[in-house]
Amino acid sequence: MNHWLIKSEPDVFSIRDLAKAKRQTTHWEGVRNYQARNFLRAMQVGDRALYYHSNATPSAVAGVVEIVRTAYPDPTAWDLKSDYHDPKASPENPVWSMVDVKLVEIFPREIPLDELRTAKALEGMELLRRGSRLSVQPVTAAQFRAIEKLGKKETR
């Protein structure tokens, strides 16, 4: 099993929105960065991903999802009305991909970016690298476990 981190702006689609979705499952569309797309394409059913609320106050890891469908063409790319439209993409040349994710858990508390930065176990994590903006990125198993532990830790 591989581990990942996926970002969403909570005012666009939060982990609580996912909790309200049919079968607590959704497709993860709109990725328009080639490296992030390639990470989506590497995901396998059963892989787990940290759900990160970006551009939030504060930005934070909110919970865990599981990949329940591997990469397939993202039709929003050729939808003229979509915010994710790409004129280079078409059904014949899909260019972009998406996966389906299912909610595993919402952490009892979100782990803010500032707290992640202070965790020794997370040194070298892509998310914490200056200038890192990838919306989909790999996470090591040790980093994943460390963040899960932080998310379940009681606050004082």
Q: What predicted TM-score, i.e. pTM, was given to this entire model? A: 0.94
Which domains, from first to last, does the chain contain? 3-152 (3.10.590.10)
pLDDT value, residue 155: 60
The predicted-structure confidence for 30-63, as pLDDT tens digits, reads as follows 999 999 999 999 999 999 999 999 999 999 999 9
Question: Residue 154 above 80 pLDDT?
Answer: no
* pLDDT-based confidence at residue 78 (cuts at 50, 70, 90): very high
Residue 144, C-beta contacts closer than 8 angstroms, at least 6 positions apart: 3, 48, 50
Taking alpha carbons only, the member of 89, 71, 58 closest to residue 29 is 71
Average the pLDDT over 122-126 and give the result. Answer: 95
| Cα–Cα distance, 34 to 53 (Å, whole number) | 21
